[in-house]
Amino acid sequence: MVPVPSADRFDAFRALADRRGRPGGRLMEHLARARAGTADSPETWAPAVAAGVGLPAAAALGPAEYYADLTTPHGHRHVRVCAATACFAASGGLHLVEAERALGVDAGSSAPDGSVSLQAVRCLGYCYAGPAALDGETPCTGATLADQLAGREEPTAPDIPAFDSTGDPVLLGDVLAGECAWQVWPRAVTARTPDEVQAEVAASGLRGRGGAGFQVAAKWAATGRSPHTVVVVNGDEGDPGSFADRLLMERDPARVLEGLALACFACGARRAVVLVRSEYPRALARMREAVDRAYEDGHFGGAVHDSGVTLDVEVARGAGSYVAGEETALIASLEGSRGCARPRPPYPADRGLWDAPTVVNNVETLAAVPWIVAHGGAVYARRGAPGEPGTKLVCLSERFARPGCYEVELGTSVERIVTELGGGLRGGAELAVLQVGGPLGGFLAADRLDVPLTQAGLAHNGAALGHAGLVAFDRSVEPREILRHVWEFAAAESCGACSPCRVGSRRGLELAGAGRQPGEEYERLLRVLSEASLCAFGRRIPEAVRSLARAYGDRLAGWDR
């Protein structure tokens, strides 16, 4: 890829990396290999990794001391236990303590002899069967998690239950009915133009499904079809409670890649990168296999299907960071840097990956594109809700009687999803609050679920669509424990790039754990977080906390200020 000049800013790391052949991706892979099997701190092994790719020690120490997968000691047996919302709701958080006892090691540490290590992570994508852990790359789930880790029971991990409630699925056709992918791309690249593909997506009104909800066609158009354009697939599905992207990458990776190919065609991009989070090892393997097969079948490479189009695709692995799912942080991670959000402007469409115009679309967004191009944007636009067309994958957590991934029309009532599709809570338990769209998405009270599943409808009720994961809390979990859990997540996952979020999230956790009513300091804290944070992560924390307090009413009085 030809370097794109950056006239108004100078980045010393990028300049040096340019001279070294841009080894950022290789750096992250080398760091991951160096970390495997060692409990030593990064300063003992990261500088040698940097030297091996021609970079100074600081270039490796930065990411090695930032990403959870690299900072955590690794024994010869490395176990990752989910401490995210759905698993917390399933066990009240007790499963982590039980895992520590079963393995004889505390979370975040390694046994003295290096035999085993334990890492607490925030979502493994088994929200429908939690609590969950990965023993190496072997999943273990359910109420007997500790016994599975101790070897007293065989590991068990059911496949993701998937259902369609629309009658004509856009996203789950192959998963549920065996529809074949790669039916649209060969015809589009040989018989249609980039303008025609972009026009269909524009007519569809498709918005990004990763949380921000930006118009997809507008994002594509913003690159101006520069020949240096790069399209990045964001497979860093970090919102605890959501496993839709994992389902698509594991069960229908070809459809995701076909959507990627069409996006590259519309943008004029010749190169694409697929980023899959490290917590999804099976999805990573399936995506790599699917890319290799796509090259073999002529979908990628030079002169695709005897056209004049060249498209090269690579797959990269994340290293454990929630904020690295934000597009500027994701780009930084692909360059081998700390996954911190960057100020905008410049926007990625102007200068993104290595200063090239960059489009970042999430997995579910791209999986919808083949259907839209095949059936027409106008047909897609008639589905869903006014102003928010189409369908959405909604994930229901383990507390539901029928957990799993459901394709629904946007605008469907949350109450219908909870009671009819999900069957209410298992065992006849009583719903207390419902978390929507991840830990920073927001909470709805059990008697306030008559809300349309749209960005506008949820925002009006203090929540956010996000990835549309629905995590149910029954009345066995104390409201203050959920409040503390939200602040714990915020403090652990803040990237640290801005003081309001870095300091504010930790102070919020201290106040939530103090056991006393919030005062003026707490009000100031929420105001500073919402107004001064660099990215949406910090700005969403106050809304999530306030929505939880409103949902519980008198049981969390004062925390909704």
The type of residue at 334 is L
User: Are 188 and 253 contained in the same domain?
Assistant: yes
Element (H, E) at 135: strand 132-135
Q: Rounded CA gap, 256 and 244, in Å?
A: 12
pLDDT at residue 22, rounded to an integer: 63
What pLDDT score was predicted for residue 7? 45
CATH of the domain at 405: 3.10.20.600
Please indicate, yes or no, if residue 5 is contained in any of the structural domains: no
Say whether both 176 and 293 belong to one domain: yes
Is the peptide bond preceding residue 47 cis, with omega within 30 degrees of 0?
Answer: no
Domain containing 180 — which CATH number?
3.40.50.11540
Res. 558: pLDDT tops 80: no
> Looking at the chain, how many residues does it have?
561
- 373, 462: one domain: no
Residue 230 in domain: yes
| Residue 179 lies inside a defined structural domain of this protein | yes
**519: containing domain:** 479-556
**DSSP structural state of residue 355:** G
Based on the domain organization, do 304 and 342 belong to the same domain? yes
Q: Determine the pLDDT at residue 536.
A: 87
For β-strands 312-317 and 77-82, DSSP reports them as unpaired
pLDDT at 6 over 70: no
Instruction: Identify the pLDDT of residue 11.
Output: 64
Give a yes or no: residue 157 inside a domain.
no
Cis peptide preceding 131, ω within 30 of 0: yes
DSSP 477-534: S-HHHHHHHHHHHHHHH---SSHHHHHHHHHHHHHHHTTS---HHHHHHHHHHHHH-S
Residues 291 and 434 in one domain: no
375 shares a domain with 394: no
Per the listing, tokens 């239950």 go with 161
Q: Are residues 342 and 453 in the same domain?
A: no
Q: Are residues 400 and 355 in the same domain?
A: no
With a cut of 60, say whether residue 138 has pLDDT above it: yes
User: Would residue 7 count as lying in a domain?
Assistant: no
User: Is residue 156 domain-resident?
Assistant: no
Domain count, the chain: 5
Model confidence at 124: pLDDT above 90: yes
Phi, psi (deg, nearest 5) at residue 312: -115, 135
CATH code at 126?
Answer: 3.40.30.10
Percentage of the chain surpassing pLDDT 90?
80
What is the domain-level CATH number for residue 501? 1.20.1440
For residues 24 and 85, state if they share a domain: no
Q: What is the pLDDT of residues 12-51, one digit of tens each?
A: 566 666 655 666 678 899 999 999 989 999 999 999 999 9
From 421, 451, 474, give the residue that closes a domain: 474
Query: Quick one: 201 and 346 in the same domain?
Result: yes
The verdict on residue 101 lying in a domain is: yes
Q: Which residues partner with 452 through β-bridges?
A: 413
pLDDT tens, 160-212?
999 999 999 999 999 998 888 899 999 999 999 999 999 999 999 999 998 77
* Residue 313 · residue 522 · CB < 8 Å: no
Tell which wins on pLDDT, 520 or 6: 520
Reading the block at residue 141, the tokens are 């789930």
> Which residue shows structure tokens 């520590």?
100
pLDDT at 320: 86
Tens digits of per-residue pLDDT, 53-92?
A: 888 898 899 999 999 999 999 999 999 999 999 999 999 9
On whether both 333 and 457 belong to a single domain, the answer is no
- 251-261, pLDDT tens digit by residue? 999 999 999 99
Q: Output the pLDDT for position 16.
A: 60
Q: What per-residue confidence (pLDDT) applies to 56?
A: 87
431 — phi, psi (to 5°)?
Answer: -70, 130
| Rg of the chain in Å (alpha carbons) | 23
- Of the two residues 53 and 375, the one the predictor is more confident about is 375
The H helix count followed by the E strand count for the chain is 24, 17
The per-residue pLDDT for 321 is 85
User: Is the domain of 469 the same as that of 502?
Assistant: no
Residue at a domain's end among 437, 456, 474:
474
Flag whether the pTM goes above 0.75: yes
Q: At what angle do helices 327-334 and 24-35 cross, to 10 degrees?
A: 80
> Is 145:95 a contact under the CB 8 Å cutoff?
yes
Residue 561 inside a domain? The answer is no
The domain boundary residue, chosen from 430, 457, 474: 474
